[in-house]
Amino acid sequence: MTSFTADTYQNMYLAVGGTQVDAVVRVRATGTDGSAGGAAAAEVILIDVSGSMNYPRSKIRSARAATAAAIDCIRDGVHFGVVAGTEVAEEIYPGEGGLVPASDVTRSEARGAVNGLKAGGGTAIGQWLTRANALFEGHPHAIHHAILLTDGQNQDETPEELDATLAECAGRFQCDCRGVGADWEVGELREIASRLLGDVGLIREPEQMTGDFTDLMRRAMGRAVNDVALRLWTPNGAHVRFVKQVEPETEDITARRGDVSEREGDYPTGAWGDETRDYHVCIEVPARAVGDRMLACRLKLVIDDEEVSEAKILAEWTDDEALSTQLNQQVVAASGYTDYAQLAQEGVAALREGDTDTATNKLGAAVKIAHALRDEKKLDELSLVVDIEDAATGKVQPKKKLDELDLMEVDAESTKTVRRPRPAS
């Protein structure tokens, strides 16, 4: 039985006239022991088999091996299927318009089908997602999850067509996206992953696919609770400015709100296993007199409209400057990581455009934030594209020779605040 707890970290004291209340709410889910047991689940693996997967040939070979390894991680009883993607989507297993429950027999059959994959054709990712959506329809009560791998850009359909597909698939299934090599667009896959409550990652070398796919599938198999939402209530005169996930990665989920009532709204967070996620919540409240205290927001964890945990965000007005200016470190870190992601992405974009001055300013500011957060992993990432002369002040120089894979890594990892180990070759 999975249980949820929610804890609030904030400085509730506002200066005279203050109207903005910031808090980090840490949500923990425990009880699955890393295995979802009998939770109903459905998995679809979407593999790019466009012509570019032949260059080098190791890409298609590694894709076959990685998909087979992921199939081996699917626990008995989970319904699954494999789709090969080009400008169309072909269901290569089981191939009958549905999914089959995993067993020794079906996993072996699926590996055999995957072993026959050949590369050739274009890329229309929306077609792949549409096929996955159709396959999930036969399992309405299961946790729906897909893994998507591509090595290129979505060239065989328009951005408008992909956007329409994402609107259709949002809320229907989660999708983790992986790009292999240097010819795909981080922003494109990030948008897909964001809309479908997944994450995006770079696979530098084809040989790393197996480790990454295995990790993704094991994580998926550990999810036991579906459709968890944050339900925020605010009193009259107050409203939610934003809700942002800040751990294990930064993601602005404000626009996902679905109104429950005049004062309440739900923010979907997808499926959960044993894990911890942090959310930065910002509430706008009307200013009150010194000494007044109010409940600025009540946050509840909701599963199938049942409330399973609650946290409160408070506000109290004071004329004591020492109280109102005290910084809560969790809120400081949350704001820092949000700013870092934007600066790193803008800095990489400037490097690609040859705008050295903007790149130096943006990436220098990102270095300064990473140093203040004592995040050595972020500093290591940034050192791929800049020489860091003084991390404390953000003094950097862009490297004279830039590798596209290094730029993509800084971009793709910019939103990650809990970095998982890089898959082994």
Closest by CA position to 26, among listed 264, 324, 334, 335: 334
Cβ-proximal residues to 379 (8 Å cutoff; 6+ apart), any chain: 367, 370, 371, 388, 391
- The more confidently predicted of residues 420 and 45 is 45
Q: Is a pLDDT exceeding 80 seen at residue 37?
A: no
Element (H, E) at 322: helix 321-324
Tell me how far apart the terminal alpha carbons of the chain are, to the nearest angstrom.
Answer: 36
Least confident span in 20-34, 134-148, 376-390, 396-410: 20-34
- Position 425 scores a pLDDT of 42
C-alpha span between 382 and 384 (Å, rounded): 5
Residue 420 CA, chain-centre distance (Å), reads 13
- Produce one character per residue of 153-166: b if its CB has 16 or more CB atoms within 10 Å, e if not: ebebbeeeebeebb
Average pLDDT over residues 45-71: 97
- Position 32 scores a pLDDT of 74
Q: Is a pLDDT exceeding 90 seen at residue 36?
A: no
Q: What global pTM score does this model have?
A: 0.94
Closest by CA position to 192, among listed 85, 281, 274: 85
Can you say whether residue 270 is alpha, beta or left, with left for phi > 0 and alpha for psi between -120 and 50 degrees?
Answer: left
The reply to whether CATH 1.20.120.1690 applies to domain 330-413 is yes
Q: Is a pLDDT exceeding 90 seen at residue 150?
A: yes
**Per-residue pLDDT reduced to its tens digit, 315-365:** 999 999 999 999 999 999 999 999 999 999 999 999 999 999 999 999 999
Q: Is a pLDDT exceeding 60 seen at residue 40?
A: yes
Tokens matching residue 281? 């919540």
Could you give the percent of the chain with pLDDT greater than 90? Answer: 94
Q: Is a pLDDT exceeding 80 seen at residue 57?
A: yes
Q: Are 279 and 246 in contact (CB under 8 A)?
A: yes
**Domains of the chain: which residue ranges?**
3-30+226-326, 41-221, 330-413
Q: Are 15 and 324 in contact (CB under 8 A)?
A: yes
Topology, domain 3-30+226-326? Immunoglobulin-like (2.60.40)
Name the burial class of residue 64, with classes exposed (0-12), middle (13-18) and buried (19+) by CB atoms within 10 angstroms of its CB: buried
Give just the sign of the alpha carbon dihedral 311, 317, 320, 322.
positive
DSSP 244-300: EEEESB-EE-GGG-EESSSSEEEEEEEEE-SEEEEEEEEEE-----TT-EEEEEEEE
Confidence of residue 202 (pLDDT cuts 50, 70, 90): very high
Confidence of residue 197 (pLDDT cuts 50, 70, 90): very high
User: Which class does domain 41-221 fall in?
Assistant: alpha beta
Mean pLDDT (the chain, rounded): 96
**Per-residue pLDDT reduced to its tens digit, 379-424:** 999 999 999 999 999 999 999 999 999 999 999 999 999 755 444 4
C-alpha span between 208 and 347 (Å, rounded): 27
Q: Is a pLDDT exceeding 50 seen at residue 87?
A: yes
Closest by CA position to 234, among listed 342, 330, 314: 314
Closest by CA position to 408, among listed 245, 178, 208, 239: 178
